């Protein structure tokens, strides 16, 4: 049996303002220069890998490398300042700890890392030989790109996540908003002083005017109430975010709200130079 989800897809696009074809993974590459405290508290270096715990409690699998490159002494021995990267508690890492050269030098990353060598050529970091000896699935000379694709991204695709990275079940209303959304939205608009983050119109003259300022979910997911995912927008800017929002505000009560807003604030919208006003005045 073949299932056709086109109707569901259209519903999600129109009513939730989400384009299923444009949703990106929540997993984003990170590069974090580590302090001594982070090395002690947030980084786990074991024989099965290296993980970093971010401020939100999410664990990321990645690797370590020396940010400044090799020292002059090492350069004279190896002919390069481009360091190796480490993926497990290899002999090199253990030696660095014993010599007290570990803290303050390393960066944790899940990205492709390149560095300019003394000869002016940009080179990608390759795997530490001692790590390669222990980790039987790696290959000699493996690059950060190859390690990322084979071990970091594959773990994500196969669902090998930590509990803190797994999506939690959240209760929502018919439109997909969480129970605390309306308070969260108002608090964010108050924080932004009821000012549209796109056109700059201020609607803080009285609380009634604040009705025409809305909180937009940047990634289109109404369950993602991380403040980094918010944008304070006037009704006109919100209605113009993309074609799905334009559809939402083309009929019913949203359309009437948009019409009322433009009628009440047309002069002010012109003054701040709202770029969408002309489209709705045609």
In a domain, 176, yes or no: no
Within 10 angstroms of residue 110's Cβ, the number of other Cβ atoms is: 22
Q: Where in the sequence is the domain holding 258, given as residue range(s)?
A: 181-280
In a domain, 226, yes or no: yes
Confidence at residue 67, expressed as pLDDT on a 0 to 100 scale: 85
Greatest Cα pair distance in the chain? 74
Mark whether 133 and 187 lie in a shared domain.
no
- Asked whether the CA dihedral 236, 239, 242, 247 is positive or negative, the reply is negative
Q: What are phi and psi of 153, to 5 degrees?
A: -70, -35
Q: H-helix or E-strand containing 72?
A: helix 72-78
In a domain, 172, yes or no: no
| SS3 label, residue 143 | strand
In a domain, 261, yes or no: yes
Query: Which residue in 52, 56, 31, 48 sits closest to 107, CA to CA?
Result: 31
Confidence at residue 168, expressed as pLDDT on a 0 to 100 scale: 53
- Residue 200, Cα to own-chain centre: how many angstroms? 25
- Residue 75, Cα to own-chain centre: how many angstroms? 36
Count: domains in the chain = 2
What are 245's two structure tokens? Answer: 């929002």
Q: What are phi and psi of 50, to 5 degrees?
A: -120, 130
**Which residues, given as ranges, of the chain have pLDDT below 50?**
1-4, 23-26, 157-167
Mark whether 238 and 186 lie in a shared domain.
yes
Mark whether 39 and 146 lie in a shared domain.
yes
Confidence at residue 171, expressed as pLDDT on a 0 to 100 scale: 67
Mark whether 219 and 255 lie in a shared domain.
yes
Mark whether 161 and 36 lie in a shared domain.
yes
Mark whether 35 and 148 lie in a shared domain.
yes
Mark whether 77 and 112 lie in a shared domain.
yes
Mark whether 133 and 189 lie in a shared domain.
no
Confidence at residue 196, expressed as pLDDT on a 0 to 100 scale: 95
Whole-number Å distance between alpha carbons of 225 and 215: 10
What is the pTM for the complete model shown? 0.47
Q: CB of 143 within 8 A of CB of 108?
A: no
């Amino acid at each position: 049996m073949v299932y056709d989800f086109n109707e569901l897809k259209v519903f999600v696009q129109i009513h939730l303002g989400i384009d299923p074809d444009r949703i990106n993974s929540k997993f984003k590459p990170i590069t974090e220069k580590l302090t001594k405290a982070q090395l002690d508290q947030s980084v786990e270096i074991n024989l099965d890998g290296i993980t970093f715990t971010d401020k939100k409690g999410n664990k990321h699998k990645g690797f370590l490398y020396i940010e400044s490159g090799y020292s002059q002494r090492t350069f004279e021995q190896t002919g390069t300042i481009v360091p190796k990267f480490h993926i497990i508690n290899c002999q090199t890492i253990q030696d660095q700890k014993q010599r007290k050269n570990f803290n303050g030098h390393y960066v944790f990353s899940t990205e492709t890392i390149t560095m300019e060598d003394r000869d002016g050529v940009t080179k990608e970091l390759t795997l530490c030989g001692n790590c390669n000896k222990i980790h039987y699935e790696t290959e000699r000379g493996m690059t950060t790109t190859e390690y990322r694709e084979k071990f970091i991204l594959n773990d994500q695709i196969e669902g090998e996540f930590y509990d803190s990275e797994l999506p939690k079940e959240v209760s929502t209303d018919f439109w997909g908003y969480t129970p605390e959304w309306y308070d969260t939205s108002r608090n964010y608009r108050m924080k932004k002083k009821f000012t549209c983050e796109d056109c700059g119109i201020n609607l803080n003259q009285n609380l009634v005017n604040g009705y025409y300022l809305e909180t937009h979910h940047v990634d289109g997911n109404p369950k993602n109430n991380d403040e980094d995912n918010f944008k304070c927008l006037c009704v006109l800017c919100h209605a113009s975010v993309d074609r799905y929002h334009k559809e939402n505000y083309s009929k019913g009560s949203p359309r009437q709200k948009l019409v009322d807003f433009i009628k009440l604030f047309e002069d002010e919208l012109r003054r701040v130079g709202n770029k969408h006003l002309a489209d709705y005045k045609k």
